[in-house]
Amino acid sequence: MARKFFVGGNFKMNGTQKDLKAIVDNLNNAQLDSNVEVVISPPALYLDFVKQNLNKSNIEVGAQNVFNKPNGAFTGEISASQLQDLGIKWTILGHSERRNELGESDEFVASKTKYALDNGISVIWCCGESKDTRQAGETIKFVENQLAALAKEISDWKNVVIAYEPIWAIGTGLVATKEQAQEVHAAIRAWLKQNVNDKVAEETRILYGGSVNAKNCKDLAKEADIDGFLVGGASLKPEFVDIINSNQ
């Protein structure tokens, strides 16, 4: 089964209505590869604004976070039912900025992922190692531990997209070589085959993230186990269109 190419845009804590309208207008007017699934994730304040201004059938709007509890006394959080109320079908979870800056553990991320999936929200689930972990030669082990925490919580993977994002490459301008990225992607797929099942290993899309741009995306997209990208800073720029079209 061919895996449909997937490109996510993580806008992070960037953009005003004016900025986001310009980004959306650029996407609306662009010729995009119709064989690519695209999800863009603006700040929560602007989810509905972006959704209302998009007119591309192959672009969905996703959140950057969702909590692992129903509506209630959880100041500052967003519930799955609130996302559903806006027609939001996707969320990013486990991004290293939340793991590291906000102290989200593997287990907490897994719990949030399970709750999102159980409540009809598909998940772009992020994993990846620090520079120290890579230099110590422990990248694969580290990512496998993150996967193991997730596998303890979920059994249905069909609405999970995995994003491998080496922390040392996020926003730094450093990019994993295509060989480095492919090695980890292949290891993730092998882990899924051994610890979940062949079907999940074959069908789960694994994205690369970490300073992806218009210059490096085409070479990365050629690798056998790279099924798309989760894009940070470049998703705010016109070159995001080139990244979406990189698999043509």
Residues catalogued as catalytic: 95, 165
What whole-number distance in Å separates Cα of residue 42 and Cα of residue 48? 10
> 183 CB contacts (<8 Å, ≥6 apart)?
none
What whole-number distance in Å separates Cα of residue 177 and Cα of residue 37? 24
Pairing mode of beta strands 36-41, 206-208: unpaired
Buried b (16+ CB within 10 A) or exposed e, 164-186: bbbbbbbeeeebbebeebbbbbb
| Cα 244 to the center of its chain, rounded Å | 14
| Cα 161 to the center of its chain, rounded Å | 7
Sign of CA pseudo-dihedral 61, 63, 64, 68: negative
**Burial class of residue 210 (count of CB atoms within 10 Å of its CB; 0-12, 13-18, 19+):** buried
Angle of CA points 176, 170, 154, to nearest 5°:
90
Neighbours of 194 (CB within 10 A): 11
What whole-number distance in Å separates Cα of residue 115 and Cα of residue 121? 9
